[in-house]
Amino acid sequence: MDQNRNGFDPAAVEAIATRLKDRPGALMLILRELQDRFGCVPRDGVPIIAHTLNLSRAEVHGVATFYHDFRREPPGRNVIRLCRAESCQAMGAVALAEHVRERLGVGFGETTRDGDFTLEAVYCLGNCGCSPAMVFNDELYGRVSPARFDELMAERKEGRR
């Protein structure tokens, strides 16, 4: 298989694009599936998608970069998404964000140097009845205080051993 170090696989991109190209609104479906598969929309995938859909590269690039979800690079092994919107702000999300940034040593949109964690901002997880809210590797958590965050990190470490 023709795979580079990021796990980018042109044949897989082409297969996904070809399979979905005739669905109405195909581009969003294709980008979503690429992100699910590679953790990002690989830059080198853009011309392949453009060719398959008979769009310009600029058009595909424009859509891929419009949406917050679509990453340009694969994330770290763990992804933490912290809600920064009003309901969570009212329950201490600003302090929580500060704590998490300090704990991980990265800002929002960044990955730790060892590739272990990516920290992302999200604006509302619909868990506003249990603010502050956070997603840790696809799992939703509510009422996350800085202490609870540390607890979750410790639980995960123990779980891995």
Partner 1 sequence: MSATVYVARDSSALSLGADKVAGAIAGEAARRNIDLRLVRNGSRGMFWLEPMVEVLTTRGRVAYGPVAAADVAGLFDSDFMSGGDHRLGLGLTEEIGYLKRQERLTFARMGIVDPLSLDDYIAHGGYRGLTRALSMAAEKIVDEIAESGLRGRGGAGFPAGIKWRTTQQASARQKYVVCNADEGDSGTFSDRMIMEGDPFVLIEGMTIAAVCAGATQGYIYLRSEYPHALRTLNQAIDAARQRGYLGEKIAGSAHTFNLEVRLGAGAYICGEETAMLESLEGKRGMVRYKPPVPAVAGLFGQPTIVNNVVSLATVPIILERGAAFYKDYGMGRSRGTLPIQLAGNVKRPGLVEKAFGVTLRDLVEDYGGGTFSGRPLRAVQVGGPLGAYFPESMLDLPMDYEAFAAKKGIVGHGGIVVFDDTVDLARQARWAFEFCAIESCGKCTPCRIGSTRGAEVVDRILRVAHTGDRAAAIGLLRDLCDTMTYGSLCALGGLTPLPVLSALRHFPEDFGLSRSDVAWAG
**Residue numbers of the site for partner 1 (CB under 8 A)?**
24-29, 31-32, 62-63, 66-70, 83, 85-91, 122-131, 133, 138, 140-143
77 half-sphere exposure, CB direction, 13 A CA radius: 6
Beta carbon of residue 7, minimum distance to partner 1 (angstroms, whole number): 21
Beta carbon of residue 114, minimum distance to partner 1 (angstroms, whole number): 26
For 157, the enclosing helix (H) or strand (E) is: helix 146-160
- Length of the chain (residues): 161
C-beta closer to partner 1: residue 114 or 139: 139
Catalogue the E-assigned strands of the chain: 78-83, 110-111, 117-122, 134-136, 139-141
C-beta closer to partner 1: residue 2 or 36: 36
| Identity at 90, one-letter amino acid code | A
Beta carbon of residue 24, minimum distance to partner 1 (angstroms, whole number): 7
C-beta closer to partner 1: residue 80 or 83: 83
Rounded to the nearest 10 degrees, what angle do helices 45-53 and 57-66 cross at? 120
Beta carbon of residue 38, minimum distance to partner 1 (angstroms, whole number): 15
C-beta closer to partner 1: residue 105 or 109: 109
Burial label, 48 (beta-carbon count in 10 A; 0-12, 13-18, 19+): buried
